[in-house]
Amino acid sequence: MTKLTKKIALVTGGSRGIGAAIAKRLAADGASVAITYAKDSTAALAVVQAIESMGGKAIAIQADAADVEAVKNAVENVVATFGRLDVLVNNAGTAMPKPFEEATQEEMDRVVDINIRGVFATTQAALKHMGNGGRIIMVGSAVGERVVTPGLVPYAATKGAVKMFTQALSREVGTRGITVNNVQPGPIDTDLNPASGDWAVPQKAITALDRYGHVDEIAAMVSFIASPEASYVTGANLTVDGGMNA
Ligand code: NDP
């Protein structure tokens, strides 16, 4: 028995980066895992195969987080496949770094649709199936609390919304034994935020640890929050940022 044996988890945006690390970690903890992805079916399949090669169970579902019907269908697909849903990780997210005044309406709409509208829709669909011990986990951002570089205005606004969504929702579902928490990464080396290049220099410099984080360092926090041990943690914003916001 491992800590998530018999649990069913859905990780949105689980084909690459932080989401893929979370999916693999929850599977290593014993959960059966579904991941969604937007475009890259090859990467999604590789995550499924990695989990299966560890002896776990996994499926991948194409569902753009901005498409409300697609995310609702994804949740129903998970329940139809595994019979239940215990852990939702709202990880899918995007950023379009540029000065606010240069952002197009279309770009801003896309950030809002994926980072917050999709989180509302997926969470609502998941809650229909969740009972006592359920876990709703957001992957917000350290910039949802404190913004230390320019160029992230719509992104930071959506992650601030994720923070308050977490706190507010925890008040509605707590009596059902469901916890709601927000893991807030700092700079983590992924395709979205590579640890090399000009954009990385100021981010690394403002961390207390003077380094980027690894995807597994976020997955470790999600693993704890998903576990029965975290039963009294809810409505919390758990910052994993190498001291960026210290
Ligand atoms: P990546 O861009 O590296 O990976 C994104 C993942 O999400 C991929 O699996 C991608 O699949 C999927 N995805 C992207 N768009 C959509 C969509 N519209 N619908 C469904 N799935 C989608 O990102 P990260 O791993 O870096 O980021 C993951 C989360 O962590 C995001 O919410 C981000 O805001 C947050 N975060 C990241 C930080 C960092 O420094 N990396 C810092 C703070 C927060 P596909 O390839 O198929 O599109």
φ and ψ of 130, to 5 deg: -100, 140
Say if CB 140 and CB 162 are below 8 A apart.
Answer: yes
pLDDT(1) > 90: no
Q: What is the pLDDT, as a whole number, of residue 198?
A: 86
Query: Using a 6 Å cutoff on CB, does residue 64 contact ligand 1?
Result: yes
The percent of residues above 70 in pLDDT, for the chain, comes to: 100
Alpha-carbon distances of 78 from 32, 143, 156, 228, rounded to whole Å: 10, 31, 30, 21
| Residue for token pair 């997926």 | 122
pLDDT(13) > 80: yes
Tokens matching residue 78: 């998970």
Tokens matching residue 147: 């913004």
Is residue 232 part of the annotated active site? The answer reads: no
The minimum-distance atom of ligand 1 relative to the CA of 142 is 43
Q: What is the pLDDT, as a whole number, of residue 23?
A: 98
pLDDT, tens digit (0-9, with 9 covering 90-100), for 160-217: 999 999 999 999 999 999 999 999 999 999 999 999 988 899 999 999 999 999 999 9
| Residue for token pair 């899918």 | 92
Q: CA geometry: angle at 148 spanning 223 and 203, to 5°? A: 65
Closest by Cα among 79, 36, 31 to 57: 31
pLDDT, tens digit (0-9, with 9 covering 90-100), for 114-156: 999 999 999 999 999 999 999 999 999 999 999 988 999 999 9
For 11, the 3-state DSSP assignment is strand
The three state secondary structure string of 68-92 is: HHHHHHHHHHHHHHHCCCCEEEECC
Start-end of H helices in the chain: 17-28, 41-53, 68-82, 105-112, 118-127, 153-173, 200-205, 215-226
Calculate mean pLDDT across residues 33-52. Answer: 98
pLDDT(243) > 80: yes
Q: Pocket of ligand 1, candidates 147, 165, 190, 239: which has the most ligand atoms within 8 Å of its Cβ, to mutate?
A: 190
Q: What is the pLDDT, as a whole number, of residue 6?
A: 94
Query: Using a 6 Å cutoff on CB, does residue 17 contact ligand 1?
Result: yes
Calculate mean pLDDT across residues 51-73. Answer: 98
CA–CA separation, 12 and 87 (whole Å) = 11
Q: What is the pLDDT, as a whole number, of residue 106?
A: 98
Going 127 to 174 to 12 to 202, the CA torsion angle's sign is positive
pLDDT(223) > 80: yes
pLDDT, averaged across the chain: 97
**Does the predicted model carry a pTM greater than 0.90?**
yes
* Strand 58-62 with 135-139, pairing: unpaired
Calculate mean pLDDT across residues 26-31. Answer: 98
Q: CA geometry: angle at 149 spanning 191 and 234, to 5°? A: 75
pLDDT, tens digit (0-9, with 9 covering 90-100), for 186-200: 999 999 999 998 889
CA–CA separation, 95 and 155 (whole Å) = 6
CA–CA separation, 75 and 45 (whole Å) = 18
Half-sphere exposure of 132 (CA within 13 A, CB side): 1
pLDDT, tens digit (0-9, with 9 covering 90-100), for 77-119: 999 999 999 999 999 999 999 999 999 999 999 999 999 999 9
For 109, the 3-state DSSP assignment is helix
Query: Using a 6 Å cutoff on CB, does residue 47 contact ligand 1?
Result: no
CA–CA separation, 201 and 204 (whole Å) = 5
**Number of helices (H) and strands (E), helices first, in the chain?**
8, 7
Fold of 8-240: Rossmann fold (3.40.50)
Q: What is the pLDDT, as a whole number, of residue 237?
A: 98
